[in-house]
Amino acid sequence: MTPMSRRVDDRTFPVLFPTGRGYSGTDTKRITINKVLSNDILVQQNQYVQRCIDWNRDILKKELELTEEDIIDLPALFKLDKQGKAVPYFPNMVTMMVLAKDLGVPKPFGPVTGGECCLERRARSLLEPLGLRCCFLEDVSSYHGSLGEVRCGTSVQRRPFTFQWWRMMP
């Protein structure tokens, strides 16, 4: 919850909740940032999810010989479903499609400050200095409502690299 915890005020923003099949993409609720941050259950769930992410991150760092600098943290917020599975609170930017230097990123619909979604602004500030172009795609009505994202609607075929791609410098 990093981007929102930095800006605790009483601004409202639309939050899109996945509701399963038949989701129309028009179901939105208005909720304040303070309300999200004061939701103890949501905070506890995200602390749990963060521990899971950290555990996986440690494995990736060890197995792929990555350093902390090799990893880019994108803002995300989750809630746990009835089975205890983490589902994104808003479209998850991490599930973007990478097409060379162009990124098809799920539009997160986060808090708008200064006329721009603060989550999009943060993603751009992290990715564009690397020479990447962010194109935010509205995928709520087509995929997010069914717990999918942009990558679910693509048919990209790839060949494995013959080198350690994570060591490549732009």
Give 162's DSSP letter: S
Q: What pLDDT sits at residue 62?
A: 94
Taking the C-alpha atoms of 6, 8, 11 and 15 in order, what is their torsion angle to the nearest 10 degrees? Answer: 70
Q: Catalytic annotation on 135?
A: no
List own/partner pairs for 47-52 with CB under 8 A and 24 or more apart. Answer: 48/80, 49/78, 49/80, 49/86, 52/86
pLDDT tens digits, residue range 6-41? 333 444 444 443 333 323 344 445 566 777 778 899
Exposure class string for 129-160: b at 16+ Cβ within 10 A, else e: eeebebebbebbebbbbebbbbeeeeeeeeee
